[in-house]
Structure 1
Amino acid sequence: MRSLVPARVHLGPVVLLAVLTLSACLLVGGLPRALQASFDDALHAALRGAPALQTDLLAQVEPPGAPNSLRDPAQFAAADARLRALLPPALRPLVLPAGQGTSHMSAVTYDTPVHGSSGRSYLNVGWLSDADRRVRWTEGRPPGAPGSMTYERESIPVFEAGVSEDTRDKMGLKVGSTQILGESDYAAVKIVGVYAAVDPADRYWSLHSDVVRVTETHPPGSLEVERHATALISAASLTRLDGDDRNLVYTWTLGLDPGAPTSLGTADVEAAITDYERAVTVEPATAAGRYQLNTRLPELLGRFLAAQNTARTVTILVLGGLLAVAAGVIVLAVRLLSERADTALALARARGASLGRLAAAGAGPVALAAVPAALAGYALSWLVPGPPTPLVHAGPALVLAVALGYAAGRPVVAHRAPLSERRDDVAAARPPLRRITMEALVVVLALAGAYLLRSRSLAGEAGDDPFLLVVPVALTVAAALITIRCYPYPLRLLVRLASRGKAAVPFLGLTRAARARPASVLPVLILLPALAVSVFASVISSGVDTAQRQAAWQAVGAPIKVTSRVELPAGVVERVRAVPGVELVVPAQTGQVQLGYTGERAEAIAVDVAAWRRVLEDSPVGLPALPASGLPALVSPELHGRGTMEIGWHARTKITEAGVVTAVPGFFTRGKFLVTPLRVNARPSVNTLLVKGDADPAAVARAVGQPLAVVTSQAAELAAIRDAPLTGTVRTVLGITTVALAAYALVAVVVMLVIGAADRTRALAFLRPLGLSERQARGLTTLEILPLVLVTALVGLGLGLALPAALGPGIDLSSYAGGVAVQGYAPDLAVPLLLAAGLAVAAGLGAYVHTAAGRGRGSGATALRTGDLT
């Protein structure tokens, strides 16, 4: 048989099959690419946002003495070249060349006390190979060659050095002054200049934070502040800088290019770092000593992989459901085309055609439609930006294989015996015992898998656990099998009730629905997963939205928050209150307090809690109320149980524990902290404003008018969470999948109507001569179709709502909600109900229109076969 002739005769089903195949291949080929591109974008954003101290590779050496010290930058450069030669192939494209990005070399001392400071001031000296492009000199001049001086009858080196503006101010160092360093092996530092960072926000400075600012700490058990800073020296000073007299570290920083790694190669990068650490540790390339590799990149990549695995798990579930539904709808379209040729194929078989020839005849028209459409869809998917994954290639191939395999296999099964015809419209077929046993086994295994998934912890293993991928599929199949087997029984009860009435249409319609052919119940296997997956995607999206809003409120603590490192002037509050849209302004003071008379400290905020509760009254976060009398306080779990505590802030005050909070919105989430009334200080030093209203944050910032003040808003924080690359793509994938599945479900309903058109036409042909009106014919068709669709819609809706709970701890979406766990999945039922109701209405309208369209085709007597009336 020639394939072109049946394809031309049955052009409608062929076009439908081509459109379905093209759309399915485009979706299953394009969505994984877009998702993988978002993984890369998220990884690059995480690397760019992380300090260089976490991403770069630091090879460090502590020289044991003067003979092992490096005296010239050329020696550092030679060692740098050797370290780069040891890089594994997976790391070489990711590391920036020397002098680019954050790649540089340094020699810095540590724990160098200022003589006579009693261990409260430390001034280290350091050489940075790229200091000339990192700092600008605002006072004095850059340092030059070292000198010598006599101190306590000994000759000691004098290093010319420059200090940061922050070091000058906090440690009282002036240009021209000299500081003696050390308590035994002395050295002198002559301050010849003051500098400022060219870009203070550059992630580079995380490697040398005390070069640009003073680090202040409170040692355990001490009430004094300890200050650490580093002064910059010239390359010429390396000749006098050695490990004999002071703690010295040489560092070769191999800067990572944040835009170079890919999410697909993350595991290779982690393995390469391990190999490189092993190679560097045993490398005796310099006389300075043994190298030690320090990097936090594996930790950062591990956190990213956890978020990526969660996203991949959820999207694989959704995309897997989309692929299954698309394949099922294509099977329906192939069946529609195949049934149109059943008469011709039965005749060919009766005339001696082989089964192979029947398979070729069935697959030929399908191949003409599906192969070009699959290739076109696959080609169009390459227009979607992103790297290809195995699913990009396997998905379209699987869609095409299903279409061709079913097209070739169905004629062979249906016509394996010549002229073997039977009627399916008289009585419901009784399934064999073997099939019932297999279906029961599937149901039991699905329930057992769901129980195991709920009972064991999967946190952090979402992307690697096959249970999380198998159980949802098993639950969907189990629900479909139960629906197929059980839905006729309630219909038979309705048939008995309808049989007692006088109207014939309800009885006939429900009877035909209860005796549906196997081909009629086949769409259940498509409609149910389509609804379940789309409702599941809607529920997940709704849960993420709720958690994102909570995370934004938790991060800011008010619609608008103003924070400042210094006290805000008294007139600022009044100016902010006058900004249009501001409803309430609550001043607060934040700081660190001393607990008792020990060195123990805690973070604190003094605020009118009652007023702050009014600011938070429409938000998903809040604080318990404080008693009006005394000085009550809300404390963190670490401070719980201490009762009355004495704290040192601006003055010594006693506070009483009045409640425990695990977090303070906008301020504290862990550690030791407390919330006290604003009156805890006699004169509050206000440095924070909590603003309620829909005012413009920019207008609030102008009203504050302080360069050191920072204005943040809950709306901006929420937008930042939602606009993250990974979050946005996951939401987009869920939205596209929901729409696609809804469309496939509607197509399945239409195809189901068309497949049963012949039987329906024959039944109406019998009934119209008996007086069946057009209105009754439409009602009969609607009653035949609607019960199955309604039952499927309800089961799909229930399964979609239950899947998040069934998957349990396997879904951790906190990475897309600002770190807040997505719990409860209390969904907005509008979208799920709309999907289910829309499908049922579409089925009813389709049946109505389908019957109305056949009105004018005569009485239908020609539809009766010879012998049907005998």
Structure 2
Amino acid sequence: MPEVGSEREVGAGSKVRATAPWVRTRLRAAPGAAVALLLLALVSSFLAASFPRAVEAYEGSGLRQALRAAPADQNGLQVSDVLVQPFDPEDPAVQSRLGPKEMAERQRKILSALPQPLRVDRGQSSYGVFTSRPVDGSAPGLTRLDGGAPVFTLSAGAGVAEHSTVRSGRLPKAAVATPGSTAVEAVVTAATAKELNIAVGTVIRVPRGDLDPLAVTVTGVIDPLRPDQPYWSVRPLLRTPATLFTPGPPPEPYWHGALLLAPEAAPALLSVSPDVESYWRFALDPGGLRVTDLAALKAAVSTVESGPVLSELREAISPEVEADTEVDALLARYEELRSAVAPVVAVAAFGVGGVVGVVLLMAGGLAAARRHAELALVRSRGGSVPGMAGRLLAEVAVPVVPAAAAGCALAVLLVPEGRLVPAVVGAAVVTLVTCAALPLRAALVHRRPGSRGGRDDLVGARPSRRRTVAELTLLALTVAAVVALRRRGTDDGAAQGVDYLVSAAPLLLGAVAALLLVRLQPLPLRIAARPLARRRGAVGFLAMARAGRAPATSALPLVALLLALTTTAFGGSVLAGVDGARERAAVRSVGADARVEAATALPAGLADSVRKVPGVRGVVAVYRELDLDLGYAEGSSEAGAAGGVTLLAVDPDAYARLARSTGVGAFDAGALRAKGGEDAQDSADAAPLPAIVSPGVAERLGDDPVVVGPPSAPLQIAVASVRDETPALPLGDFVVVDAAGVPVAKQPTTLLVTGGSVAGDALRATVRAAGTDARVALRSEEYAAYADSPLQTGAERVYAVAAAAAAGYAVLALLLSLLRAAPERTALLARLRTMGLTRGQSRRLLVLESLPGTLLAGVGGVLVGWAVVLVLSPGIDLTRLAHASGEVLSTGIRVELAADPASLLLPGLGVVLVAAGVAAAQAWAVTRRTTTTELRVGDTR
């Protein structure tokens, strides 16, 4: 391939060729194109490298949160050693097993045997000896409940001093005790001392069969430090006494407290109870865990529970050692949620990845089209295809490779968690596609040298057979993906991982629709050009003619635009569907914007006080009675059974307005209003109260009036309407009646508060000031609770970024296609200006010329996005993504994908507006320049 250069004389008549390097020459000739390609590679490689790291980051955060937020008795490891009966309390070997030095040494052995990645929080771990069954204890003044005197658990645990502060008295002395000791010292927590009436100096005598009672002297009262931490929370009895009940009818309560002895007093427990157990409780430290550690963590837990590690502990400590943990159950629940969310996120990955890939290919294709004449000249002068492709590859690689490396490094810097290899692979794929697009396109077009052929217009072009075969293959693949998605859904492949064919279904649908639209694109251009040809003005006809004369390669920007708009619409619909599902579930849970509920009647005047809280618009009072007796419905085998039915007495008008505003069980207030007022039920011939009931109650009551309720205040009701749900009761069967016809409904038990900005703190303060412990629930808090997992919030962020990236690449594809034709448009306007075209007509020409393609892309994007959502919604389950627990309040409700008008319309409208704005700006810039300057530049076509 000939070099770019010139000749100069050297010495006496000799000549030496001065060669100018191809890459440097090209980069200097078109620095703007090089910088644009650099920025494109930088952003694309950053997205490709940051996506897998972002997914691993939020999955790792979800794993750590799942372990950290679990109850203390579930997210730790408990190792126990039970003394096997019979044993001799006086045996020195038995006593030494309970000594503090031996217990500490065993703890070190257990810690050294735990496999990675099990990490232990040593500060919150504990060990000691306790009586596994409560023992009797007596002392003057101890609180006795109806079930009798309190019982106690004696615990000799290490670390009490480090995890508590002494409120009064002192800690027990570290005096060595034996089974024959008659006295030991202990401390109790402030809660135990308060409930059981224990003070410093109290002596609790614990019977020991034939031996004298063991005197346990309480030397101090302590306050636990961080009582919600695992040291105190694994066995809450150590900090807070519990209530037990006697076995025989009726069950009666009695107290169960804990006496905390010094570790050196553990041998004294051998004479108190035959059920003595040594324990080592290890709080797991989830810090540093990553999602890639999940498999190793599950294997480590399994080996400790019932594998080689347990066998090792039994050999090193005792044959009776047992290990127990709920961590494996926590990991199973986490993995289930992760497996349900991952396929939905994979859809976003395929969508934005496809858009990025098409835009990168489009950039290379447009560059090859722009340099068609130059490359044809190189081939006609003897340049080889490999040589030309190699020069182009080197030219592109100079800005792309450093930019891609910088994008990957930036992704690693901004998303510190995650593996490096997937990020590098993603950036490498972007680099390969960006570098290969221009050389491969040029090699394909110029594989045979020749002069410029005939017209390659968009209207006149005919697809080749190979293109038809490729499109039919893509269509078959898309049909298979859609069928698989609708039949199996995203959840089916979750157990074995992400099903790539199913996850690629939206992208494939968008690609097929885009190719179909490309084939149909000439038809509207022909139809629009006919009436414009008969008009007197030339601007409209020229615009349509120019749009039809666009090269066939302009179909690729249309594909990129449609894919981007489809991905944006799909991602926006996912986010809107998740938000709408959470909103509906929160409304069903609370019944209004806020809810004040008590087990008994609320104080008089509380409703008026709540109405004065900032942000409150209205208050609906509800009287609630649980376990309603349904009476004897004729023909019902379940007559008289309560069956969990709840009676709700309401004001019909206010409650009907609330039901309509929330969309939960709307009804007509007139159908519920009682006939005859408050005293109507007292008369013998009173009309039955109209009632709105749930389907289960309607089936049991039938169509005839029925007397329900307790004998002291019976109600005669008749079913007026059946509703699946009602605001005052999130779940369960219900009977809603007019409060005017219920004599006992004087004071409400529930207040349903409306107001979009109810102040939660002020509402709770008002309720407390009224002297009631009623529960206050806010819709906004319930809404936030449905997304309490980083898995969900992280997946939502990924979807938001994917939708934004797709929208950005849509605009980029549009700009690339417009800039590709900018020089030709400039020269065209210059010629037309010399023939009398005004500035205004020039601007309208450019705007109208750009509109057909972008308008078609915008409308097509809206239609394709709507069709994709409609076709795929039965197979996309968003329940786990919408709700933290993976369940909705109402049984059987499934959160499915639904079209979001804003996500469908706004991106398409934005594309049209951007195209019109760029064309107008280009026309303004061109008309400001002189015509002679533009014509002097010349035209290569």
| Shorter-chain TM band | 0.7 to 0.9
Structure 2 partner of 1:54? 74
The one-letter code of the counterpart of 1:59 is V
> Which of 566, 580, 584 matches 1:550?
584
1:88 aligns with 2:115: yes
Contact 1:331 1:402 in 2 (8 A): yes
Rounded to whole Å, the distance in 2 between the matches of 1:204 and 1:590 is 41
Partner of residue 71, structure 1: 98
Matches within 5 A, 1:587-736: 608=650, 618-619=661-662, 621=664, 690-693=752-755, 694-703=757-766, 704-705=768-769, 711-718=776-783, 725-736=790-801
State TM-score, norm by structure 2. 0.77
Task: Please tell me whether residue 27 in structure 1 is matched to residue 47 in structure 2.
Answer: yes
Tell me if structure 1 keeps the 8 A contact 2:827–2:934.
yes
Deviations 1:756-794 (A, max 9, x none): 346656776887777666555555544443222222222
| Aligned residue in 2 for 1:788 | 853
Aligned-partner residue type, residue 412 of structure 1? A
In structure 2, how many angstroms separate the alpha carbons of the residues matched to 1:423 and 1:320? 38
**After superposition, what is the alpha-carbon deviation per residue over 1:525-575, rounded to whole angstroms, capped at 9, x for unaligned?**
211111111122222222222223234434544434456799876565554
Find the partner of 1:321 among 351, 367, 374. Answer: 351
| Higher mean C-alpha displacement, 39-48 vs 608-617 | 608-617
Check the 8 A contact 1:543/1:826 in 2, yes or no: yes
Instruction: Kindly indicate whether residue 863 of structure 2 is the aligned counterpart of residue 798 of structure 1.
Output: yes
Q: Which one-letter code corresponds to 1:795 in the other structure?
A: G
Q: Which moved more, 1:41-50 or 1:757-766?
A: 757-766
Equivalent position of 1:468 in the other structure: 502
Q: Kindly provide the amino acid, as one letter, of the partner of residue 547 in structure 1.
A: A
2:124 to 98, 101, 105: 101
CA offsets 1:65-105 (integer angstroms, 9 cap, x no match) = 235674323332222222222211222xx2122xx124444
Rounded to whole Å, the distance in 2 between the matches of 1:269 and 1:816 is 27
SS of aligned partner of 1:54: coil
Distance in 1 (CA, whole Å) between partners of 2:645 and 2:134 is 27
Q: Distance in 2 between matches of 1:200 and 1:657?
A: 54
Q: 2:564, 2:836 → 1: CA distance?
A: 40
Query: Which of the numbers 432, 437, 445 marks the counterpart of 2:477?
Result: 445
Aligned residue identity for 2:513: A
| SS of structure 2 residue aligned to 1:255 | strand
CA contact (8 A) 1:532 1:799 kept: yes
When structure 1 is superposed on structure 2, of 334-343 and 251-260 the one drifting more is 334-343
The answer to whether residue 361 in structure 2 is matched with residue 331 in structure 1 is: yes
Q: Aligned partners of 1:242, 1:681: CA distance in 2, in Å?
A: 63
Alignment of 1:741-760 (within 5 A): 741-757=806-822
Q: Which residue of 2 aligns with 1:303?
A: 333
1:836 deviation in Å?
A: 0.5
Residues 78-134 of structure 1 show CA distances to partners (whole Å, capped at 9, x for unaligned) of 22222222211222xx2122xx12444453413668999889976444343333444
Call closer, same or farther: CA 1:593–1:137 in 2, change over 3 Å.
Answer: farther
Contact 2:557–2:817 (CA<8 Å) still a contact in 1?
Answer: yes
Counterpart-to-counterpart distance in 1, 2:276 and 2:666: 49
Shift of 1:255: 0.8
Give the letter for the 1:375 counterpart.
A
Deviation at 1:516, TM superposition (A): 3.9
Aligned to 2:158: 129
| 8 Å CA contact 2:873, 2:896 repeated in 1 | no
* Alpha-carbon distance, 1:439 to partner: 0.7
2:909 to 837, 845, 849: 837
1:152 aligned residue: none
In structure 2, do the counterparts of structure 1 residues 828 and 466 end up closer, same or farther at CA, with 3 Å as the change threshold?
Answer: closer
**Deviations 1:411-447 (CA, angstroms, capped at 9, x unpaired):** 2222222234223346623222232122122113212
* Separation in 1, partners of 2:648, 2:772: 23
Q: How far apart are the structure 1 equivalents of 2:906 and 2:718?
A: 50
User: Aligned in 2, Cα 1:531/1:521: closer, same or farther, shift over 3 Å?
Assistant: same
Distance 1:241 1:677 in 2: 64
Which of these residues, 491, 515, 518, is aligned with residue 459 of structure 1?
Answer: 491
In the alignment, what sits opposite 2:684? none
SS in 1 for 2:413: coil
User: What is the 5 A alignment of 1:91-240?
Assistant: 91=118, 94-97=119-122, 100-110=123-133, 123-135=152-164, 176=202, 192=218, 197-202=224-229, 204-216=231-243, 223-225=250-252, 229-234=256-261, 235-240=263-268
Paired residue for 1:397? 428
- SS in structure 2 at match of 1:751: helix
Higher deviation after alignment, 838-847 or 183-192:
183-192
| Worse-superposed segment, 101-110 or 470-479 | 101-110
CA distance in 1, matches of 2:368, 2:857: 25
1:13 Cα shift?
Answer: 1.8
Residues 456, 585 of structure 1: alpha-carbon distance in 2 compared, 3 angstrom cutoff: same
Question: Contact 1:39 / 1:308 at 8 angstroms: preserved in 2?
Answer: yes
Structure 1 segment 517-532 matched on structure 2, within 5 A: 517-532=551-566
| CA deviations over 1:664-706 (Å, ceiling 9, x no partner) | 8798658x99999999996999886544444433333333236
Q: 2:292 aligns with which of 251, 259, 264?
A: 264
- Name the CA shift for 1:247/1:661 in 2 (closer, same or farther; >3 Å): farther
Distance 1:243 1:491 in 2: 99
In structure 1, what is the equivalent of residue 303 of structure 2? Answer: 275
Match of 2:445 among 386, 401, 414: 414
Deviations 1:325-380 (A, max 9, x none): 33433333334444444333322222222222211322233223322322332333
Query: Which residue of 1 is the match for residue 374 of structure 2?
Result: 344
Counterpart contact for 1:552–1:818, Cα < 8 Å: no
Q: Measure, in 2, the Cα distance between the counterparts of 1:268 and 1:6.
A: 53
Match of 2:574 among 519, 530, 540: 540
Give the letter aligned to residue 107 of structure 1.
F
Pick one of 33, 36, 39 that aligns with 1:16: 36
Matched, 1:3 2:23: yes
Q: Find the residue that maps to 1:352 and give its secondary structure.
A: coil
Question: Deviation digits for residues 10-54 of structure 1, max 9, x if unmatched?
Answer: 222222212222222233334544454333434333333221112
Q: Root-mean-square deviation (CA), in Å?
A: 4.9
Percent identity between the two aligned chains: 27
Choose the corresponding residue for 1:740, options 805, 819, 830.
805
3-state SS of 2:80 partner: strand
After TM superposition, the structure 1 stretch with the greater mean CA deviation from structure 2, 844-853 or 744-753, is: 844-853
Q: Unaligned regions of 5+ residues in structure 2, if any?
A: 5-21, 89-93, 139-143, 631-639, 675-680, 682-687, 889-893
1:624-666 CA distance string (max 9 Å, x none): 89786789999999999776999999x9999999799988879
Q: Which residue does 1:480 correspond to in 2?
A: 514
Change in Cα spacing, 1:568 to 1:758, as seen in structure 2 (3 Å) is: closer
Q: Is the 8 A contact 1:28 1:319 kept in 2?
A: no
> Does the C-alpha gap of structure 1 residues 778 and 123 become closer, same or farther in structure 2, counting only changes over 3 Å?
same
**CA–CA distance in structure 1, aligned partners of residues 866 and 194 of structure 2:** 61
Corresponding residue of 2:58? 38
Distance change in 2, residues 1:579/1:392 (3 Å): same
Deviations 1:721-749 (Å, cap 9, x if unpaired)?
66864555444444444333323222222
In 2, distance between residues paired with 1:792 and 1:219? 76
Whole-angstrom CA distance in 1 between matches of 2:247 and 2:481: 52
Summarize the Cα distance change of 1:857–1:323 in structure 2 as closer, same or farther, 3 Å threshold: farther
Q: Aligned letter for 1:857?
A: T
1:153-178 residue CA offsets vs partner (Å, 9 max, x unmatched): xx998886666565667677788475
Q: CA deviation at 1:579?
A: 3.6
Does the 8 Å contact 1:146/1:240 carry over to 2? no
Q: Is the 8 A contact 1:103 1:253 kept in 2?
A: yes
Indicate the residue corresponding to 1:365 in structure 2.
Answer: 395
TM-score, structure 1 as length reference:
0.82
